[in-house]
């Protein structure tokens, strides 16, 4: 596959990655792996109807890792000329000679390499001109500003488009690569009232431009989200149910994934150590990993080590079924890689029957969280404390916005105290999840 917008075709960089391995072998490496990539992108932003930024990016690079037995060296370059590639391999080999032996390093096992690489429809170029992108951004911002005359200022609207491809090869004879794209529309505005000023935003992202929300809809949502935050009030310290809206609920899932990922596990820096096969969450929590979703934002037929990916149940009825491992962490733990070198693939959290309004009714009285501040999460203990903003709810109805509060609990308790997962699923990244209702957390005024 080729595209005239790049200096090389995919087939050409596949061949280049294989040539890098030959150079490494000629220099004495017992094994090696190499990745070459190219990408291009355009980013346009407007603010208050005027073009603010027009950016282009064009990147390319090669990284190579060589192994001399159990010694490892790594080097990279942005120069893809034949001599630069050879020099980079030499640099990696020199580094390897001075590194300590590590019995766990090395390529992933040969029998785990991906054999069939399906087309997951990840490449959908959006060939829009700068003028067209500016017009889309202006439409988005105008829609936000027109929501209400209290929306008095803007941090801008943005339209981005990008595409690229990569090739990965290793000494097992594996070579794979594919083209991909990602596009986005976003907007952030400011609203004012007599004694309050607030900002909020919204965005849409997709592999294919036709799957993006219309620019006017993105702007409208950004405007409405900003407006509803005006005239926020403080609340008294209390312990109540907390509803994380879908945009933030993915953060709860991300924390869980970090806690069951190889690096934190073998370093013993996770609150979910030795949890395989155990009840780690409410029976309502079911997480399925599907790497093969067409046009999925985290779809891939193989991981960063060439290991074949597979659909699998990660959490079933709250019971942890598997960790997230690459080959190095798997060896440290005496286990086998799960095909997650480089991270998770599309995680699908099974929804319940309630929409957002239904979750509010179920909660009755409590807090809806729409913004989190700071990084108050201790991965070792699970202790959780974050600055937050959102809305106070009584009798299943939003009463007023809330700000300058802190929400606190322990993540292990939060996972086990999930009482509902909404069907208001957002697809904005690698995790697809609706709003999550936690039975109880401590709310404190700042």
To 10 degrees, what angle do helices 215-227 and 130-145 make?
Answer: 30
Q: Which helix (H) or strand (E) holds 235?
A: none
In a domain, 298, yes or no: yes
Residue 391: strand pairing partners: 368, 401
Domain identity same for 390 and 406: yes
Residue with the bigger pLDDT between 438 and 2: it is 438
Domain identity same for 303 and 189: no
Q: What is the CA radius of gyration of the chain?
A: 24
Domain identity same for 201 and 294: no
Output the pLDDT for position 376.
Answer: 83
Output the pLDDT for position 446.
Answer: 64
pLDDT of 377 above 50: yes
Which residues span the domain enclosing 333? 232-446
Task: Report the domain count for the chain.
Answer: 2
In a domain, 5, yes or no: no
In a domain, 1, yes or no: no
pLDDT tens readout for residues 285-299: 999 999 999 999 999
The residue out of 166, 200, 227 marking a domain boundary is 227
Mean pLDDT of 306-327: 97
Mean pLDDT of 19-31: 97
Per residue, the 3-state secondary structure of 380-403, as one string, reads CCCEEEEEEEEEEEECCEEEEEEE
In the chain, the percentage of residues whose pLDDT exceeds 70 is 99
Domain identity same for 199 and 117: yes
In a domain, 3, yes or no: no
The residue out of 227, 251, 266 marking a domain boundary is 227
Domain identity same for 201 and 237: no
Domain identity same for 221 and 263: no
Given the DSSP bridges, would you call strands 347-349 and 431-432 parallel, antiparallel or unpaired? Answer: parallel
Q: Is 191 exposed, middle or buried (0-12, 13-18, 19+ CB in 10 A)?
A: buried
What count of other Cβ atoms lies within 10 Å of the Cβ of residue 270?
22
Domain identity same for 67 and 34: yes
- The domain that holds 184 is classified in CATH as 3.30.2290.10
In a domain, 339, yes or no: yes
pLDDT of 389 above 60: yes
The residue out of 182, 200, 227 marking a domain boundary is 227
Domain identity same for 28 and 132: yes
Output the pLDDT for position 195.
Answer: 82
In a domain, 429, yes or no: yes
Output the pLDDT for position 11.
Answer: 95
Domain identity same for 158 and 245: no
pLDDT of 416 above 60: yes
Domain identity same for 256 and 166: no
Answer whether 345's CB lies under 8 Å from 359's CB: no
Which of 408, 437, 434 is closest to 243 using CA atoms? 437
pLDDT tens readout for residues 161-212: 999 999 999 999 999 999 999 999 999 999 999 888 999 999 999 999 999 9
In a domain, 54, yes or no: yes
339, 345, 346, 349 alpha-carbon torsion, rounded to 10°:
70
Could you give the angle at the alpha carbon of 129 between the alpha carbons of 126 and 131, nearest 5°? 135
CA 255 from centroid of its chain's CA atoms: 12
Confidence of residue 4 (pLDDT cuts 50, 70, 90): low
H helix intervals, 234-332: 246-259, 262-266, 327-332
Domain identity same for 180 and 297: no
Q: How far from 17 is each of 1, 42, 116, 234, 330, CA to CA, in Å?
A: 16, 27, 19, 58, 26
Least confident of 208-212, 243-247, 424-428: 424-428
Domain identity same for 178 and 250: no
Confidence of residue 1 (pLDDT cuts 50, 70, 90): very low
In a domain, 2, yes or no: no
Backbone angles phi and psi of 327, in degrees to 5: -65, -40
pLDDT tens readout for residues 110-155: 999 999 899 999 999 999 999 999 999 999 999 999 999 999 999 9
Q: Is 50 exposed, middle or buried (0-12, 13-18, 19+ CB in 10 A)?
A: exposed
């Amino acid at each position: 596959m080729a595209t005239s917008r790049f200096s090389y075709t995919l087939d050409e960089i596949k061949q280049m990655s294989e040539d890098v391995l030959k150079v490494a072998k000629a220099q004495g490496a017992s094994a090696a792996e190499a990745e070459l990539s190219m990408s291009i992108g355009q980013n346009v932003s407007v603010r208050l109807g005027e073009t603010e930024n027009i950016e282009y990016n064009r990147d390319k690079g090669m990284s190579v890792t060589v192994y001399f037995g159990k010694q490892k060296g790594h080097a990279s370059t942005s120069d893809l000329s034949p001599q630069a590639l050879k020099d980079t391999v030499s640099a990696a080999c020199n580094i390897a000679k001075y590194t300590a032996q590590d019995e766990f390093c090395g390529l992933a096992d040969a029998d785990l390499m991906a054999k069939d690489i399906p087309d997951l429809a990840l490449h959908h170029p959006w060939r829009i001109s700068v003028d067209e992108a500016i017009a889309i951004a202006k439409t988005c911002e105008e829609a936000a500003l027109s929501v209400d005359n209290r929306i008095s200022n803007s941090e801008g609207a943005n339209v981005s488009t990008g595409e690229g491809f990569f090739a990965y090869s290793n000494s097992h004879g594996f070579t794979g690569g594919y083209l991909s794209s990602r596009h986005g529309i976003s907007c952030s505005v400011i609203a004012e009232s007599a004694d309050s000023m607030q900002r909020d935003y919204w965005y849409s992202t997709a592999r294919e431009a036709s799957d993006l929300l219309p620019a006017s809809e993105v702007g409208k949502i950004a405007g409405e989200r900003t407006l509803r935050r005006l005239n926020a009030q403080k609340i008294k310290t209390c312990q109540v149910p907390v509803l994380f809206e879908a945009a933030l609920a993915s953060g709860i899932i991300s924390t869980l994934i970090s806690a069951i990922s190889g690096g934190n596990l073998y370093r013993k820096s996770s609150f979910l150590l030795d949890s395989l096969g155990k009840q780690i969450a409410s029976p309502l929590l079911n997480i399925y990993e599907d790497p093969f979703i067409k046009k999925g934002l985290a779809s891939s037929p193989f991981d960063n080590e060439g290991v074949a990916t597979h659909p699998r149940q990660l959490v079933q009825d709250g019971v942890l079924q598997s960790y997230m491992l690459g080959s190095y962490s798997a060896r440290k733990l005496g286990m086998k890689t799960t095909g997650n070198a480089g991270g998770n693939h599309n995680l699908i959290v099974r929804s319940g029957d309630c929409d957002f309004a239904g979750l509010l009714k179920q909660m009755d009285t409590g807090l809806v969280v729409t913004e989190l501040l700071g990084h108050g999460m201790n991965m070792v203990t699970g202790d959780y404390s974050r600055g937050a903003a959102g809305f106070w709810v009584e009798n299943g109805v939003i009463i007023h916005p809330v700000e300058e509060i802190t929400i606190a609990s322990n993540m292990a308790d939060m996972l086990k105290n999930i009482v509902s997962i909404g069907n208001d699923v957002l697809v904005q990244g690698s995790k697809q999840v609706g709003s999550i209702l936690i039975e109880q957390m401590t709310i404190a005024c700042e």
